[in-house]
A and B are shown apart, each in its own frame.
Chain A
Amino acid sequence: MRQYFGRKLLIYGLTFFMAVTINWMIPRFMPGDPVAGMLARARVTQPEAVEAMRAYYTNLFGFDLPIWKQYLNFWAALLHGDFGISVWVFPTPVSTVILGAVPYTLALMIPAVLLSWVVGNRLGAYAARRKLLDNSVLPIGYVLTAMPYMWLAVILAWGLGVVAGIFPVAGGYSFAMRPNWSWEFLGDLALHWTLPFASLFLVALGGWAIGMRNMIIYELESDYSNYLAALGAPQRLIRRYAFRNAVLPQITGLALQLGVLVAGALVTEIVFSYPGLGSLILKAIQNQDLFLLQGTFLFIVLGVLIANFIIDVVYVVVDPRTRAGMAGAAA
């Protein structure tokens, strides 16, 4: 088990190392002067501000230093939590800007991902080998999982927001409000949260339901299911066992899908102008704020790695075989 976690942590460490290196390399080995390019495209009009920024960024990139020193300095800054200064909201540090957006993204993603996983698995398990239900769950599941996240978001925003007028279609809370801990504000937050959550939840739901349905069919064909059936065990027991075994690969699947889910959350946020990382990325791109973009990238990678590790821990808790120190999930 120690070996299992050791291996996982090594992979995550290497992944983070690689992500940071990519992040460092790209602006340096791209053709052109990144500082000039960034300032030219940034919409800053006051000459003194431009000068201040130029001085800051040139210093920050440290082009006069040897390459290896630039690289080490980059790491040193990073480990101090210094991601640089945003161009878009100069001179706010990138880390501050990102930390302001992260709670929104997490509030959207965590419930949507977990709920869609739980409900999707139940639905898929229930539909498997039950003709009538299967015939409706399967096509709906495929349509949902084939949808681009932003399209369902746009449709929900249009149908339930613009046309029906039930939900607001933009922002994390009403423009007229200031963030505070009143019930009124929390209610407003929830109202703005509903549609982005629903679209993220629904698209993910389809994939989980289909995955579970296929896994259950596979498990119901397995030897232990056949043995139980030959000994006359009731379908309920056989299905319960099958579900438990089928859930394990779905946990691994959750780890594999994280990247897609993050992508889905980002574009969903953009549709609803939800003030999370997705909207931040859009702003960063529109304003050529590459520091903000790179900082967000590292944050997302870090988040995904942490989530992966949590899933690994859960897997070990749920699958007795890894705990027994025998053959476990492939690293």
Chain B
Amino acid sequence: MTTIDTALPQTPTAVRREALYFALRNGKLLVGLGVILILLGTAVIGPVLLGRAANDYVGLPMQSPSSEYWFGTNTFGQDIFVQFVYGLRTTFEVGALGGGIAAVIGMAVGFIAGYRGGMVDEVLNMLTNIILVIPTLAVLLIINAYLGIRSVGVQALFIGLTSWPWAARAIRAQTFSLRTRDFVDLARLSGMPSRKIILREIAPNMSSYLFMTFILLFGGSILIASSLDFIGLGPTEGVSLGLMLQNAHQWSALHLGLWWWFIPPGAGITAVVGALYVANVGLDEVFNPKLRET
């Protein structure tokens, strides 16, 4: 597309402005982002407004949804809406923390392996591949069962420590292709240290890609955490959407017909993760013109 390139000189600001232009017109991005912001707002502000602890016993058990208890109550007389709001908060915490840790490890490994090449790459690649094939959940089962995870933070930490390999692999491949580009060569020739080259030259050139990787890791962490919670290896303090599902299942919500107990937590997880994925596709279309629908 030489024709276009010369006709419209692409300065960084122009690229950014163009990205913004498409971002504001991308339905997927806007819908995804909108849903995330609404849920995030609920998770952040909700608990303050409610003024109740998550597991308070507030009224009669097994009440169906009403104006007083929006999502009804469970068999213990706990307000499911209150639990939902607190659970949503936990979900975001696990996602941000687990996804964040995984992203940091993935980037470090990916950048170093891709930029250094050679022996370092071989070793890191081997490590990545080994952790990649071990089923994450199975490892977490063992760790959590012995450690007896108490807090959301520790749960997220272990999720982060085990779910980075695919990200590392993807980032390595990207770094590898950027490594031989002129501007990187130039920086190298001018004597810039490797760390600086990675942070100043390589990372900014794939920032959109890194951000999308983080989003996927975020969603992945949430799903893994919910599975752990459901198996009974969730945090023993507080409440999470996965724990709500586990409780509902364990206390026969299914057979008692308490649909308001198990629908909201799963819907919450699906909404958060789904919105993240959809926003991610939107971002992809914004940054990758080939995918835009014409």
Residues of chain A touching chain B, judged by Cβ–Cβ distance below 8 Å, are: 11-12, 14-15, 18-19, 22-23, 26-27, 30, 131, 139, 142-143, 145-152, 154-155, 157-158, 161-162, 169, 214, 217-218, 221, 255-256, 258-260, 262-264, 266-267, 270-271, 281-282, 284-286, 290, 293-294, 296-297, 300-301, 304-305, 308, 330-331
Q: Is the CB of A285 within 8 A of B145?
A: yes
Q: Is the CB of B129 within 8 A of A266?
A: no
Q: 1/0 per residue B231-249: CB within 8 Å of A? A: 1110000000010010011
Q: Is the CB of A157 within 8 A of B142?
A: no
What are some 25 contacts across the A-B interface (CB < 8 A)? A11-B129, A12-B133, A22-B142, A30-B146, A142-B281, A143-B270, A147-B269, A147-B273, A148-B227, A151-B262, A151-B266, A151-B267, A151-B270, A221-B290, A259-B136, A260-B137, A260-B223, A262-B137, A263-B136, A282-B231, A285-B141, A300-B138, A304-B134, A308-B133, A331-B129
State the CA gap A274–B19 with chains docked (Å). 49
Task: Point out the residue from A154, A218, A286, A290 that lies within 8 Å of B146, measured CB to CB.
Answer: A290
Q: Is the CB of B126 within 8 A of A263?
A: no
Interface residues of B in 158-179 (CB under 8 A from A): 166, 173
State the CA gap A90–B147 with chains docked (Å). 24
Task: Point out the residue from B173, B232, B277 that lies within 8 Å of A285, measured CB to CB.
Answer: B232
Q: 1/0 per residue B126-163: CB within 8 Å of A? A: 10011011111111011101110000000000000000
Q: Confirm or deny: B254 has a beta carbon within 8 angstroms of a beta carbon on chain A.
A: yes
Q: Is the CB of A27 within 8 A of B146?
A: yes
Chain A, interface SS category: helix
Closest to B274 in A: A146
Q: Is the CB of A270 within 8 A of B135?
A: no
Contacts of A221 in B (CB 8 A): 290
State the CA gap A305–B138 with chains docked (Å). 13
State the CA gap A152–B267 with chains docked (Å). 10
Q: Confirm or deny: B202 has a beta carbon within 8 angstroms of a beta carbon on chain A.
A: no
Interface residues of B in 242-262 (CB under 8 A from A): 242, 245, 248-249, 254-255, 257, 259, 262
State the CA gap A255–B132 with chains docked (Å). 10
Q: Confirm or deny: B192 has a beta carbon within 8 angstroms of a beta carbon on chain A.
A: no
State the CA gap A147–B266 with chains docked (Å). 7
Number of interface residues of B (CB under 8 A): 55
State the CA gap A290–B132 with chains docked (Å). 24
Contacts of A285 in B (CB 8 A): 141, 145, 231-233
Besides A151-B266, A267-B231, A282-B231, 7 more A-B contacts (Cβ < 8 Å) are: A12-B133, A23-B142, A147-B273, A259-B137, A260-B137, A263-B227, A300-B135
State the CA gap A26–B145 with chains docked (Å). 10
Q: Is the CB of A154 within 8 A of B262?
A: yes
Q: Is the CB of B274 within 8 A of A142?
A: yes
Known: A142-B277, A147-B266, A154-B249. A259 touches B134 (CB 8 A): yes
Q: Is the CB of B146 within 8 A of A26?
A: yes
Smallest CB separation, A32 vs chain B (Å): 10
Q: Confirm or deny: B94 has a beta carbon within 8 angstroms of a beta carbon on chain A.
A: no
Known: A14-B126, A148-B227, A286-B232. A262 touches B138 (CB 8 A): yes
Contacts of B273 in A (CB 8 A): 146-147
Q: Is the CB of A256 within 8 A of B132?
A: yes
Closest to A258 in B: B135
Contacts of A11 in B (CB 8 A): 126, 129-130, 133
Smallest CB separation, B209 vs chain A (Å): 15
Task: Point out the residue from B231, B248, B255, B270 that lies within 8 Å of A270, measured CB to CB.
Answer: B231
State the CA gap A217–B139 with chains docked (Å). 36
